[in-house]
Structure 1
Amino acid sequence: MHDIRTVTGPLTPAAVRGPALAHEHLALDLRRGTDRAAVLDDRHTDAVIGELAEMREELGLSLVIELSCRGMGRDVTALARISKDSGVPVVAATGWYYEPFHPSEVGDAGVEELTDTLVREITEGIGPEGILPGVIGEVGSHGDRPSEPEVRALKAAARAAVATGLSVATHAQLGRGGAAQLALLTAEGLPPHRICIGHQDLLDDSGVHRELAERGAYVAFDTIGKESYQSDAVRLRLLLQLVAAGHAGRVLLSCDISRHGYLRGEGGQGYGHLFRSFLPRLRAAGVDEDLIDLMTRRNPIRFLTGARTEEAT
């Protein structure tokens, strides 16, 4: 397995000894229209650092995959500071979110042009510091099938992934359209084990989850704790069904903290909700520590590095 690219340099998979968060935001800006709270900026950086440092000490948090990409207010300089000051390695991302958040550069640009933009960023780095992204995501669509601009952005993500060896994490709005995303990405030559289909815990359909896993993709239960979208009770039921079907090796878990109101200091569930609230319920339902380690540590490593299931321990 190759090293994991983090904002502070390469990290060997063996160095990830504790759990990872597979889909988070530490610095982003999704404010638009009447929604002014979808932001994590320099006013919140110290709070983010504090949460991650506490989780490293208490829970052994060893990695955060940060999926803010182009057009999402990505700030790799902030990510580097957060990583250094908290002591938690952070993976930065590239790609384009779903259509309402596409920057003008997507416009009517062709797939080749978009691919070149991503490959250049992956090989040369982001910003003046040249920080290298370690994943492509969260590349998005909304609805059961991607829109025309989303198709171009997804195809570019897949081609850039094939060219550079990075994996792709998607945004499937409210969990919908995952099968279409997977079909589109694999049609461009990207193996399914290099793909994670996002927000599946928002879709109350265990059959879809099994189909994605059976086709070899990772299935993200990555909005844990966002009770206004879905109850954790439903998430728990869906996850237990997927585990019972033998697909724990295809699960990624996270909380998708995407606004400052979710931070613990503002009364929110915080980045640690997965570990402090949800995993105890999973254990109480009979899931053993080896499977929890699989879903929270080994699977994220395998996803990022492209390792086959039997290659990462």
Structure 2
Amino acid sequence: MSALLQTVAGPLSVSDVRGPVLAHEHLALDLTRGAGSAATLTPGHRAAITEELVSLREEFGLALVVELTCRGMGRDVAAMARIAADSSVAVVAATGWYYEPVRPAELTRTSPEQLARTLIGEIERGCGGSGIRPGVIGEVGSHGELPGEAEAGALRAAALAATSTGLSVATHARFGRGGLAQLELLTAAGLPPHRVSIGHQDLIDDPAVHRELAASGAYVAFDTVGREGYRSDRVRLRLLLALLESGFADRVLLSCDVWRHGYLVSEGGMGYGHLFRSFLPRLRAAGVDEETIDGLTRRNPLRFLTGTDGASGAREAEGRAPAGGSGR
């Protein structure tokens, strides 16, 4: 029997995901409290977002978006469901808590065990009475080399909920810092490393950290591709090639992390398609073959979401994508 993903439209067989996956994006959020007025993707942006996803589905076979807007980030799962239906691109919604500057008050007065029960309730019954169930826990955040007290509680809660429900956990490591500490905390709470994706690792120029994370079995997310103001794609490419050359092609996730409306193509930004239109061609020019690119953009995120260790494999995710389904 094929493994199933939980999407905003209900369960989806992994074997039906035949095109690439964007492993860390946002389609509907409001971070004005923590990041300013530009940090929004509102109902007014919905048509432009849908148009972008339709274009990527038609041109590159985009099959799935992992939407990591969680509690306290202005999450709108109903909007995600409408975008998924209108674009014919599947969307996985998330639950969890972001990093400290935008933490809800509930994090300061509640134990990790109680927080975990809140997450489990959303995973089993849906978000906010919508009936729309999340398929991943994330982006659970911290903002320094070590998580703060509230951030550590949210990470422990994520691990407890993940071990109880079978979902995987995606983190937000601000500017790439603190990923090893996040992983240590999550695994100490009982979560296997292959069910963890450490976020924003393309923002630190530290191949040794990337190798250590990957060697543990965790996924290393190069998920701010195209964000030149943070790190150039030239450096991202060098870091990614180093990780591939070290033998960790099965531990990498790729995405663009669109979280400001100014990043949309309609507003002159890089858009959700920068990975396919700019970065992957440079990866191919560097000699990376299509089998590896299909792994980076499809098989790896499917293994991560389903919690299947790459060592044993998720056979449904290992099938070759049809022509045009790996980012061409």
34 and 19 in structure 1: CA distance in 2 versus 1, 3 angstrom threshold? closer
Give 2:30's aligned amino acid: D
Match of 1:243 in 2: 244
115 and 33 in structure 1: CA distance in 2 versus 1, 3 angstrom threshold? closer
Gaps of 5+ in 2: 319-328
Give 1:260's aligned amino acid: H
Give 1:242's aligned amino acid: L
1:168 and 1:282 mapped to 2: Cα distance?
A: 27
Check the 8 A contact 2:223/2:253 in 1, yes or no: yes
Match of 2:45 in 1: 44
3-state SS of 1:268 partner: coil
1:56 and 1:172 mapped to 2: Cα distance?
A: 29
**1:177 and 2:178 matched:** yes
What is the deviation of 1:33? Answer: 6.5
Give 1:294's aligned amino acid: G
Match of 1:264 in 2: 265
Check the 8 A contact 2:33/2:102 in 1, yes or no: no
131 and 289 in structure 1: CA distance in 2 versus 1, 3 angstrom threshold? same
Match of 1:4 in 2: 5
3-state SS of 1:287 partner: coil
What is the deviation of 1:104? Answer: 1.3
Check the 8 A contact 2:187/2:193 in 1, yes or no: yes
Match of 1:68 in 2: 69
- Deviation string for 1:128-154 (max 9, x for gaps)? 331000000000001100000000000
3-state SS of 1:225 partner: coil
- Deviation string for 1:220-260 (max 9, x for gaps)? 00000000011000000000000000001000000000000
Match of 1:218 in 2: 219
Match of 2:138 in 1: 137
Q: Where do 1:96-245 residues align within 5 Å?
A: 96-245=97-246
Match of 1:81 in 2: 82
1:43 and 1:196 mapped to 2: Cα distance?
A: 31
Q: Between the two proteins, what is the percent identity of the paired residues?
A: 66
**1:57 and 2:58 matched:** yes
Give 2:246's aligned amino acid: A
1:189 and 1:75 mapped to 2: Cα distance?
A: 30
2:38 and 2:192 mapped to 1: Cα distance?
A: 37
What is the deviation of 1:22? Answer: 0.1
3-state SS of 1:43 partner: helix
74 and 178 in structure 1: CA distance in 2 versus 1, 3 angstrom threshold? same
**1:274 and 2:271 matched:** no
3-state SS of 1:44 partner: helix
Match of 1:18 in 2: 19
Check the 8 A contact 2:6/2:134 in 1, yes or no: yes
What is the deviation of 1:34? Answer: 7.3
Give 2:94's aligned amino acid: A
3-state SS of 2:276 partner: helix
33 and 176 in structure 1: CA distance in 2 versus 1, 3 angstrom threshold? closer
- Deviation string for 1:266-295 (max 9, x for gaps)? 000000000000000000000000000000
1:31 and 1:137 mapped to 2: Cα distance?
A: 19
Gaps of 5+ in 1: none
Would you identify which runs of 4 or more consecutive aligned residues in structure 1 move more than 4 Å? none
Cα RMSD of the aligned pairs, angstroms, is 0.9
TM-score (norm 2): 0.94
